Chain A
Amino acid sequence: MKINVSNIAKLANLALEDNEKKSFEDQLSEILNYVEKLKELNTDAVSETSQVTDLENVKREDKTTPSLSQEEVLSNTSSKHNGFFKTEAILTE
């Protein structure tokens, strides 16, 4: 099992150092080899489980309730402007 660590890091928005790349490649390959074990099981007729207690379509009343103030929401950022979060530009002209 060969894993392209640089590509995965890019997808995950992680910047890896060179020495990390090598150790992650080895460790992730070892883990992926281990989980290959699941292939021994025939699961063609088995459905998936994502919710274990069988709850379905849980809804609540569509009523507004008080929320955090703008000031509170912005209290943990170092980058704000005129009451908004300020981010790097994504689109350029």
Chain B
Amino acid sequence: MDLNGLTLTAVKKGLLKKDFSSVELVKSCLSQIDKFDSQINSFITVCQETAIKQAELSDEEIKNGNDLPLLGVPIAVKDLFLTKDVRTTAASNVLKDYIPQYDATVVEKLKDAGAVIVGKLNCDAWAHGSSGENSDFGPTKNPWNKEYIPGGSSSGSAAALASGMCIASTGTDTGGSIRLPASFCNVVGLKPTYGKVSRYGIVAMASSLDSIGHFTKTVEDNALFLNVTAGKDILDATTPDIKVPDYTKNIKNGLRGIKIGIPKEYATKKEGIDENILRVFGDSLKQFESLGAKIIEISLPHTEYAIACYYIIQPAEVSSNLARYDGIRYGNTRQNFGKEAKRRIMLGTYTLSSGYYDAYYKKAMKVRTLIKKDFEDAFNKVDAMITPVSPTLPWKLGEKINDPLKMYLSDIFTVTANLAGIPGLSVPAGFINGFPVGIQILGKHFSEELLYRIGYAYEQETKFYEQKPNL
């Protein structure tokens, strides 16, 4: 197997045993980018020279016996994360020439852990979208079928990883932007608990919902990555001062006795839900049962209000966060906003404007309380929940681009976790007509350790992650 196809766990072993060098590994990722990214369009910027230089330094460190969690490992970063001296665009023309003066906290942590940053990944501009098509740098293609979308907004993060162009990648999830592309591209994606990972230095979308996560090839890889990024940051007041455990420690403890809830609102035949997805989901439940978990039907009664609630709160916060882009201190003028950003700014400005605030924003914040309470009640009965990630398979490029409401409804199973602030782990669950399908494991606030344990047991049984797209 080529080096770029290895998991993070395997890469760490190989580097330590000196089976291969960081330079060889980084070069194999760069050559994969070179060969295939003209078709996939997952990168906005590739850091060829600095990556090789950093890999050489890493090989020195390894030779000197130093060991860091990500030493010499090629990582790619969503282009929403500020990287000192490397252009950061948010995939928007507004920031197309912006060179950050500092690193995001997560980028700093990755660098401190020895990671080699290979490049900046494409996404929907400002993370607005479910398909990746809202990028001002062109849409990213799904590596499993290049006429289809890879899911968004972290489109490049999932597509590049599935294509073997990096060993792990970062993303942001405000309403499903990590879990949806992970599920559409057959990789593992974590949306951590709100505040578990610092948002400092990452272009803000909707501040009460934004979660900073990542994509990996396996569940164990994902836990290793969170070991590096999680924790208190004095520069983000929403990060609680809770000790970061070793997320890999209990990962192999199995599922015996674990109670898993299935929200009936997510798992029943309804308009808009693909029957094949329900079938794959049903198959996954049988696996969980055979692994010793107890499956319990539960109810999240306010589910049908989630999208409406989300599409008030999120654009309101977007309009406020994007007000800073005036083209004076950095970036280009507001004329450079694309259609979707303008649409959300307008929607948010309207719902926050005088006379409408109570009817829209305040109402939505109350409904948010009800949605959050649904989860609290359910978690009194079960340890975690499992649901489909997307109601449909990936769609064709262009299919929903002129129908924003239809596009918004594809987030129906993912936005609730953001409204409630809980973590969600998307893991591969099979294929339909050659397209990957994912399931998400949801848990209480700060229950990432348990989510990994559940995801790991399922993944080891099914091994869907071993299947790779034919580029």
Cα(A73)–Cα(B305), bound, Å? 44
Chain A residue contacts of B331, Cβ below 8 A: 76
Known: A16-B342, A48-B365, A52-B194. 13 other contacts (CB 8 A): A24-B342, A31-B408, A34-B311, A35-B360, A43-B363, A46-B370, A47-B369, A48-B368, A49-B368, A53-B194, A75-B101, A76-B99, A85-B329
Kindly state the separation between the CA atoms of A8 and B464 in the bound complex, as whole angstroms.
48
Q: Which residues of B contact A48 (CB under 8 A)?
A: 362, 365-366, 368-369
Q: Does A91 contact B (CB under 8 A)?
A: no
**A89 within 8 Å of B (CB atoms):** no
Structural contact, A55 and B240, CB atoms closer than 8 A:
yes
> A13 contacts the other chain (Cβ, under 8 Å)?
yes
* Number of B interface residues in the complex (CB < 8 A): 57
In the assembled complex, B296 has its CB within 8 A of some CB on chain A:
no
**B193→A46 contact, CB < 8 A:** no
Secondary structure at chain B's binding surface: helix, strand, loop or mixed? Answer: helix
The closest CB in chain B to the CB of A5 belongs to B346
> Is A22 an interface position by the 8 A CB rule?
no
- The 18 listed contacts between A and B (C-beta, < 8 Å) are A14-B337, A15-B335, A28-B350, A35-B308, A35-B311, A35-B364, A38-B363, A43-B367, A46-B370, A47-B366, A48-B365, A50-B365, A52-B420, A53-B238, A53-B421, A75-B99, A76-B99, A77-B328
Which B345-373 residues have a C-beta within 8 angstroms of A?
Answer: 345-347, 349-350, 353, 360, 362-370, 372
B343 to A27, Cβ gap below 8 A?
A: yes
Interface centre among A3, A24, A50, A51 (most CB of B within 10 A): A50
- Contact check: which of A12, A20, A38 meets B308 at CB < 8 Å? A38
For the complex, what is the distance from the CA of A12 to the CA of B300, rounded to whole Å? 36
Given A12-B349, A68-B101, A52-B335 contact (CB < 8 Å): no
Say yes or no: A73 contacts B101, CB within 8 Å: yes
Which of A8, A37, A49 has the most C-beta atoms of chain B within 10 angstroms of its own C-beta? A49
Q: Is the CB of B349 within 8 A of A11?
A: yes
Pair B342/A76 contact, Cβ less than 8 Å: no
Chain B residues with CB below 8 A from A77, complex form: 328-330
Known A38-B309, A48-B366; judge A8-B329 contact (CB<8 A). Answer: no
Question: Could you tell me which residues of chain B, from 320 to 338, have a CB within 8 Å of some CB in chain A?
Answer: 323, 326, 328-331, 334-335, 337
